[in-house]
Amino acid sequence: MIKRLLVSAWLAAALLATPAAAERVKDLASVQGVRDNQLVGYGLVVGLDGSGDRTSQTPFTVQSVKSMLASQGITLPSNQNLQLENVAAVMVSADLPPFSKPGQRIDVTVSSVGNAESLRGGTLLMTPLKGADGNVYAMAQGNLLVGGFSAEGNDGSSVTVNIPSSGRVPNGATVERPVPDSFGNGNTVMLNLHTPDFTTAKRLAAKINDTLGHGTAKAMDSVSVRVRAPESRDGRVSFISFLENLQVEPGDAPARVIVNSRTGTVVIGNQVEVRPAAVSHGSLTVTITEDPQVSQPDPLSQGQTAVTPDTQVEVAEENNPMFLFGPGTQLSEIVNAVNRVGAAPSDLVAILQALREAGALRAELVVI
């Protein structure tokens, strides 16, 4: 844990202590309206080796199978009770990339809806994928790739690796219709920053104006920059291609400390500073030792063996030194002070929280 703290803090110092380098607009922003669209559909996976839905608990699977068979010209009696252990009802989802055209292929994710134990070895039957407007934009079908598996013994013991009830079908869906877009509408395009920052938005607008002339770009807020653009689609493609390759120096990252409570990783930004403060961090250890004593009776005394409890309680308090932070203490000093006493990431979190409560931490503390 200590090594992880050192590596995380050193990496943050190495990355953030250097001046911000210029980056391409392509890496800083995206064009408004050029985005993925989510698709979803309901379907059936067949061909499972007895690991499908237990139809007694999932009647919608039986209903779906009957509907599917009816569409193929097979009619079953209404009172027919099907036992289908090799079929599973699933939800199919996909992301439709911008400007996708009919005939292109996209990946789909298949997830069990019922109580199927595993989708391994199954085949997804033709499933229409709809958008938020209810229209069908793609059709999915194909063999599943499942990264997880499960096994169970006769005595009830079992083992499960990853999630066997979910899988993917690479290139499993064919696009049937394009999504309407407004890419060629109007005489402007909007660039949206991936990370909101007023300084970066101002510099982006200034860079475009310096390159293409005053009044070409205007920063609307901390996210959006409006840019005048050609009205023809061909001219707009060339124009945005030019904009994407401009070099802009982004604004400095805010002072922030990020703590991952699950892994113990702590990342401290270079702009983090501490006002004058003294912090003492120690822990109290209580040790209880049981040493029972056995008492044996004298021979021929007709006595009984007795056990006498003997409990020893010790209390020890670690003699950790105080942390003394002067005005403007920065990243390297904080890390050195914490590591000199061999503190763990959890200790650092406690110290930073105490500094924040005292109003001495000039940074945002984020715990994830």
- How sure is the predictor about 103, in pLDDT bands with cuts at 50, 70 and 90? very high
Domains of the chain in start order, with CATH, are 21-34+182-248 (3.30.1360), 37-175 (no CATH), 256-367 (no CATH)
DSSP secondary structure string, 220-276?
-SSSEEEEE--SSHHHHHHHHHHHHT-EE-PPPPPPEEEEETTTTEEEE-TT-EE-S
Adjacency order of strands within the sheet including 364-367: 265-268, 256-260, 364-367
- Position 184 scores a pLDDT of 73
> Bigger pLDDT: 325 or 59?
59
Distance from C-alpha of 5 to C-alpha of 339, rounded to nearest angstrom: 9
> Bigger pLDDT: 295 or 213?
213
Mean pLDDT of 90-119: 92
> Bigger pLDDT: 8 or 68?
68
Element (H, E) at 151: strand 149-152
The percent of residues above 90 in pLDDT, for the chain, comes to 30
- Position 125 scores a pLDDT of 93
- Phi and psi at residue 311, in whole multiples of 5°? -105, 135
Mean pLDDT of 318-338: 60
> Bigger pLDDT: 320 or 140?
140
> Is 80 exceeded by the pLDDT of residue 246?
yes
In the chain, what's the furthest Cα-to-Cα distance? 114
pTM of the model: 0.65
- Position 12 scores a pLDDT of 44
- How sure is the predictor about 4, in pLDDT bands with cuts at 50, 70 and 90? very low
Mean pLDDT of 4-26: 54
Q: What is the pLDDT of residues 161-220, one digit of tens each?
A: 668 888 999 999 999 999 888 887 888 899 999 988 899 999 999 999 999 989 899 999
Mean pLDDT of 60-76: 84
Mean pLDDT of 254-270: 69
- Position 335 scores a pLDDT of 66
> Is 80 exceeded by the pLDDT of residue 292?
no
Chain-centroid distance, C-alpha 17: 27
Amino acid (1-letter code) at residue 46: V
DSSP secondary structure string, 157-194?
-EEEES-TTEEEEEEEEEE-SPPP--TTSSSEEEEEES
Mean pLDDT of 300-327: 61
Amino acid (1-letter code) at residue 41: G
Mean pLDDT of 13-19: 43
- Position 1 scores a pLDDT of 42
- Position 14 scores a pLDDT of 41
- Secondary structure of 62-101 in the HEC alphabet? HHHHHHHHHHCCCCCCCCCCCCCCCEEEEEEEEEECCCCC
> Is 90 exceeded by the pLDDT of residue 280?
no
> Bigger pLDDT: 261 or 11?
261
> Bigger pLDDT: 286 or 78?
78
Lowest-confidence segment of 200-204, 280-284, 362-366 by average pLDDT? 280-284
> Is 60 exceeded by the pLDDT of residue 59?
yes
**What are the residues facing 290 on neighbouring strands?**
311
Mean pLDDT of 150-170: 69
> Is 90 exceeded by the pLDDT of residue 91?
yes
Which token pair is 247? Answer: 């070099």
- Position 63 scores a pLDDT of 84
> Bigger pLDDT: 8 or 357?
357
